[in-house]
């Protein structure tokens, strides 16, 4: 069933800077640039046996050693950042024990004590890795004094905080990033207009889905479905050791097999029951993408999600999807939308209606309603037909071809809802006036 949804845009996005209306584009934003800090949040826990825990610590030590070596050799000639951490580099089975032994007896004892829990949170793991991190660096007071003497403070700070950077990047082992285009169930909330509509100076676009609940795009193979956001704040708990869905098979196996070729108890669950594992893996991912806290309930958001392809970030330019203009049914001008911007928008819409043979388009003006105590909108008297007739006369357009084509189509197809007949009637009206 067809449904209508609302998308509020500021004037920079719609007209001046990005020209979304002219280009018929919907932009999909990365989660780290959205206003809710919980967007993209994954509630990771770490629950596993000695095999997977030992392999994780070995992987941490291996990555730290590699980055530290780069710093020692190249020093100030390179800027250390998350991209330089070699998380996807496989560790030789024979070298695993070597890296584990770098912990030393004291840290090994702490390690075995630490993992003797049913479940460990991300913050607990971060604290434990911080202690290991600092023990590897050595004399911290000496290092801190060196920081203030050194021109490149960032590299030394990066090594000091390596544990935190490491936890950030290993999340790449799990789920791909995604991008969001937000829509609203309704357009009455003043706070939403104030925030997304640049203090009510923006514009709300009215989109209508097809019968499958999708908005058709011209530069993707299929329509993309709008999905309702859940505001219960119940993010799915994700066991990191059961969610290594994005890394190559050999590297996955290295997490579940130790230096003596002993298998983790998770080996069969993750690697030998792929169908069941994949379903659970993706179900959690889909649920988290549509979960927000109750603080955002007033938005009544629906969203289209564009999934990132594994490790490949989608460039901003490629996240501008061109929609079929026929699914844009109207616009609502904000309470403070400047008149010159309204005129500009109406002109763009009329041109596009002409290009797409559309005779009906809705223009509304938002206003504050005392009775309902929210934002309502009233229909504006913008005559699309007269403007199209004017354009037809100016450009000497021959509409007879379309008239004949539609008459033939009327004979060939079921005239659903009288739309074809309605269009023919309008064309007759235009032709009659045009020829006077």
Report which secondary-structure segment, H or E, holds 242: none
Q: Hey, which residues does 121 pair with through a beta bridge?
A: 45
* Residue 402 pLDDT class (50, 70, 90 cuts): low
| SS (HEC) of 331-383 | EEECCCCCHHHHHHHHHHHHHHHHHCCCCCCEEEEEEEECCCCEEEEEECCCC
pLDDT at 249: 82
CB 108 within 8 A of CB 57: no
Q: Average pLDDT over the chain, rounded to whole? A: 88
Burial 401-419 (b: 16+ CB within 10 A, else e): ebbeebeeeeeeeeeeeee
pLDDT in tens, 96-123: 999 999 999 999 999 999 999 999 999 9
CA distance 306 to 38: 18
| pLDDT given at position 404 | 44
User: Partners of 227 in the beta sheet?
Assistant: 303
Question: For residue 144, what pLDDT is reported?
Answer: 53
Least confident of 49-53, 169-173, 248-252: 248-252
Which alpha helices (DSSP H) does 90-176 contain, by range? 96-101, 104-114, 122-137, 140-149, 153-160, 162-170
Mean pLDDT of 200-225: 94
Distances (CA, A) of 303 to 29, 289, 300: 11, 9, 10
Structure tokens at 53: 């825990």
CA distances in angstroms from 203 to 10, 26, 166, 369, listed in the order given:
6, 14, 42, 18
Task: Say whether pLDDT at 332 is over 70.
Answer: yes
pLDDT of 78 reads 86
- For 181, phi then psi, to 5°, come to -120, 120
Tokens of 271: 């690697």
pLDDT score for 383:
81
Average pLDDT over residues 219-224: 85
Task: For the chain, give every domain's residue range.
Answer: 1-33+176-234+292-338+368-379, 43-173+236-290, 339-367+380-434
Mean pLDDT of 290-300: 98
Q: Mean per-residue pLDDT for 198-215?
A: 97
Residues 6-46 have pLDDT tens digits of: 999 999 999 999 999 999 999 999 999 999 999 999 999 99
Sheet holding 43-46, edge to edge: 120-121, 43-46, 237-239
pLDDT at 71: 85
**Residue 12 DSSP code:** I
Tens digit of each residue's pLDDT (9 = 90 or more) over 138-165: 644 445 555 545 556 888 889 999 999 9
Q: Answer yes or no: is pLDDT of 82 > 70.
A: yes
Region 181-196: mean pLDDT is 98
Point out the least confidently predicted range of 75-79, 154-158, 256-260, 331-335. 75-79
Strand partners, 181: 304
Res. 416: pLDDT tops 70 = no
């Amino acid at each position: 069933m067809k449904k209508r949804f609302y998308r509020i845009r500021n004037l920079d996005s719609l007209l001046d800077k990005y020209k979304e209306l002219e280009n018929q584009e919907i932009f999909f934003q990365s989660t780290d640039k959205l206003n809710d800090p919980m967007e993209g949040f994954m509630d990771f826990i770490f629950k596993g046996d000695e095999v997977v825990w030992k392999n994780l610590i070995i992987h941490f030590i291996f990555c730290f050693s590699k980055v530290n070596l780069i710093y020692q050799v190249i020093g100030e000639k390179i800027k250390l950042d998350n991209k330089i951490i070699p998380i996807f580099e496989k560790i030789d089975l024979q070298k695993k024990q070597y890296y584990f032994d770098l912990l030393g007896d004291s840290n090994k004892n702490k390690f075995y004590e630490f993992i003797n829990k049913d479940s460990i949170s991300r913050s607990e793991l971060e604290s434990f890795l911080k202690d290991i991190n600092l023990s590897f660096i050595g004399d911290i007071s000496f290092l801190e004094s060196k920081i203030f003497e050194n021109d490149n403070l960032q590299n030394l700070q990066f090594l000091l905080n390596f544990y935190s950077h490491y936890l950030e990047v290993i999340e790449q082992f799990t789920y791909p990033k995604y991008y969001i285009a937000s829509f609203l169930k309704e357009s009455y909330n003043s706070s939403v207009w104030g925030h997304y509509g640049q203090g009510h100076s923006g514009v709300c676009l009215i989109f209508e889905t097809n019968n499958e609940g999708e908005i058709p795009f011209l530069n993707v193979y299929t329509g993309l479905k709008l999905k309702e956001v859940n505001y219960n704040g119940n993010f799915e708990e994700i066991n990191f050791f059961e969610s290594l869905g994005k890394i190559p098979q050999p590297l996955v196996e290295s997490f579940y097999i130790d230096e003596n070729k002993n298998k983790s108890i998770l080996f069969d669950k993750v690697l030998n029951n792929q169908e069941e594992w994949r379903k659970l893996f993706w179900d959690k991912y889909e649920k988290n993408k549509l979960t927000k806290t109750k603080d955002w309930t007033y938005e009544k958001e629906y969203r289209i999600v564009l999934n990132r392809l594994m490790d490949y970030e989608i460039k901003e330019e490629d996240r501008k999807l061109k929609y079929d203009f026929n699914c844009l049914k109207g616009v609502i001008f904000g309470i403070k939308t400047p008149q010159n911007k309204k005129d500009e928008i109406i002109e763009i819409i009329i041109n596009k209606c002409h290009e797409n043979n559309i005779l009906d388009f809705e223009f509304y003006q938002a206003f504050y309603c005392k009775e309902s105590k929210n934002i309502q909108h009233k229909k504006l008297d913008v005559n699309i037909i007269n403007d199209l007739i004017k354009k037809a006369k100016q450009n000497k357009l021959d509409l007879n071809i379309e008239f004949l084509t539609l008459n033939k189509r009327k004979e060939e197809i079921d005239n659903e809802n009288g739309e074809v007949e309605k269009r023919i009637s309008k064309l007759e009206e235009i032709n009659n006036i045009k020829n006077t």
